[in-house]
Amino acid sequence: MPVVRFAPSPTGFLHIGGARTCLFNWLYARSTKGKFILRIEDTDITRSGSKYLEEILESLKWMGLDWDEIYYQSKRFDIYRQHARKLLDEGKAYKDEEAIIYKIPEDAKIRFFDVLRGEIAVDTEQLKDQVMIKSDGSPAYNFCCVVDDALMGMTHIIRGDDHIANTPKQIMLYEALGFKSPKFVHIPMIHGEDGSRMSKRHGATAISEYKKQGYLPEALVNYLALLGWNPGTNKEIFNKDTLIKEFSLKRVNKTAAVFDINRLSWVNGQYIKAMDIEKLTRLIVPRLKEKEYIKDDYDEDWLKGLIDLYKTRLPTLDHFANLAEFFFTDNVRYDQEAVDKFLNSDNAAHCLEKFKQALEKTELFEHKVIEENIRDLVKDMGIKAGELIHPVRVALTGGTVSPGIFEVIEFLGKEKAVSRLEKVAKKIRSRSAMFDKLKEL
Ligand code: GLU
């Protein structure tokens, strides 16, 4: 049975690269009915923090990457010492004060098999003696990693290729300890769009940060799977079950993957679009409460309808509060360019007034009825619909882009729509230096 592991060191948050490594291991285990082990590499007591550990576990749970077993290296120091002592007794290692150091055999060749790169051979001349137990009694990474990977029965080590230089050192230790070495899959790094290795400069890298910004775990998992794994088709939307069915190590790319936040946002938008409206509303409500756009007594049906109106336009959950802000406040944020273009004339004021009158006369305040009345008005005025609708959209929403204006008006409600149009028309008429003092609008 395949056995794989994800082995994070809790010396920092779980970032995009770590999450992808974890996902590939998890997918491999789930697709082969193997075992997925989480091993916390907390040997560096001073640098490991419980806040990082909690964050890592939280992020993995959030992404749905469940583990079959969990181990903490900090609880296994005796095991590492035992194995180091064995090598000492066999004369393969020596002591330097408290440290136990493995002596590299001379003139030997170390070979290992990488699933993506084939056989790799390194001369032992290129390696230095390896510290196994440091003088403070804690184990060194390359040593405890080998002891654990062997004792836990790993069949495959899937990890970032930043570890490839460690692998020959580890192979040597497998051999010295008499363990069979697993297969290795060194997955290419993730780069930013400028070609350099992914870092904070390329935007948020902590998984918790994406969560905060309103990315969905299923979208992130989908995107991360495609970051270095090639499904062999143009298909881009994969739920977890499909990923499990289709994932294979053979289709992991040999070159660096490029992280593209716009692609991630697109994938996220696809999941938001397809999401059940009840669930989507449940996810958005806390974000609106946080901004004090709604309180506990909000109108649920109204909100659900509004979210439904916007759900094809949301790259993240957070975008709803931004795009729909003008429904929740009368302090509409006006876009300067839009105002200059569409609200800068007496004719614009005239259009807003006419529109307002038509709304006042509309009894049944539903978008279809509103639209009919406005189409009549357009005919009466002998103008094009756009001439009327553009300034109205800017006056009501603050900008030039929104869902269908008649639906927007229905959701705003008669009172708000009418008073907003009136207010803006008055501002234009009075020309109270509005173009310098837009903030007052
Ligand atoms: N703790 C190591 C890391 O986070 C694990 C490396 C490995 O997978 O062997 O980089």
Specify whether domain 336-440 bears CATH 1.10.287.110: no
The pTM of this model reads 0.92
148 CB near ligand 1 (under 6 Å): no
Pocket test for ligand 1, best of 4, 5, 141, 154 (most atoms within 8 A of CB): 141
> How many CB atoms are closer than 10 A to CB 42?
20
Could you report the per-residue pLDDT of 21-55, keeping only the tens digit for each? 999 999 999 999 999 999 999 998 787 779 999 99
Asked whether the beta carbons of 204 and 177 are under 8 A apart, the reply is no
- E strand or H helix at 306: helix 300-310
Tokens of 337: 């360019």
117 CB near ligand 1 (under 6 Å): no
Q: In this predicted structure, what is the pLDDT of residue 47? A: 79
DSSP letters along 230-241, please? --SSS-----HH
In angstroms, the CA 4 to CA 27 distance is: 10
Assign domain 76-187 to a CATH class: alpha beta
Pocket test for ligand 1, best of 16, 36, 39, 41 (most atoms within 8 A of CB): 41
Asked whether the beta carbons of 334 and 438 are under 8 A apart, the reply is yes
Q: In this predicted structure, what is the pLDDT of residue 136? A: 94
How far, in Å, is the centroid of ligand 1 from the Cα of 162? 10
How far, in Å, is the centroid of ligand 1 from the Cα of 84? 20
For ligand 1, atom 4, which residue shows the shortest CA distance?
8
Pocket test for ligand 1, best of 28, 43, 145, 164 (most atoms within 8 A of CB): 145
Atom number in ligand 1 closest to CA 149: 9
Asked whether the beta carbons of 35 and 29 are under 8 A apart, the reply is yes
How far, in Å, is the centroid of ligand 1 from the Cα of 101? 21
Q: In this predicted structure, what is the pLDDT of residue 230? A: 94
9 CB near ligand 1 (under 6 Å): yes
Phi, psi of 112 (to 5 degrees): -145, 165
Pick the CATH number of 275-328 from 1.10.238, 1.10.8, 3.90.79, 1.10.3110: 1.10.8
437 SS3 class:
coil
Amino acid at 296: D
Burial 382-397 (b: 16+ CB within 10 A, else e): eeeeeebbbbbbbbbb
Tokens of 31: 């697709």
**Residue keyed to tokens 């991360």:** 224
Q: Where in the chain is the domain with CATH 1.10.10.350?
A: 336-440
In angstroms, the CA 260 to CA 238 distance is: 17
Alpha helices in 362-404 (DSSP H): 367-381, 385-397
Pocket test for ligand 1, best of 163, 169, 184, 189 (most atoms within 8 A of CB): 163
Asked whether the beta carbons of 336 and 439 are under 8 A apart, the reply is no
Q: What homologous superfamily does CATH list for 3-72+190-269? A: HUPs (3.40.50.620)
pLDDT tens for the chain, 441 residues long, are: 999 999 999 999 999 999 999 999 999 999 999 999 999 999 987 877 799 999 999 999 999 999 999 999 999 999 999 999 999 999 999 999 999 999 999 888 999 999 999 999 999 999 999 999 999 999 999 999 999 999 999 999 999 999 999 999 999 999 999 999 999 999 999 999 888 888 877 777 899 999 999 999 999 999 999 999 999 999 999 999 999 999 999 999 999 999 999 999 999 999 999 999 999 999 999 999 999 999 999 999 999 999 999 999 999 999 999 999 999 999 999 999 999 999 988 899 999 999 999 999 999 999 999 999 999 999 999 999 999 999 999 999 999 999 999 999 999 999 999 999 999 999 999 874 455 555 555
DSSP letters along 175-229, please? HHHTPPP-EEEEEPPEE-TTSSBP-GGGS--BHHHHHHTT--HHHHHHHHHHTTB
Asked whether the beta carbons of 392 and 417 are under 8 A apart, the reply is no
Pick from 177, 194, 310: which is nearest to 259 by CA? 194
Atom number in ligand 1 closest to CA 162: 10
8 CB near ligand 1 (under 6 Å): yes
Q: Where in the chain is the domain with CATH 3.40.50.620?
A: 3-72+190-269, 76-187
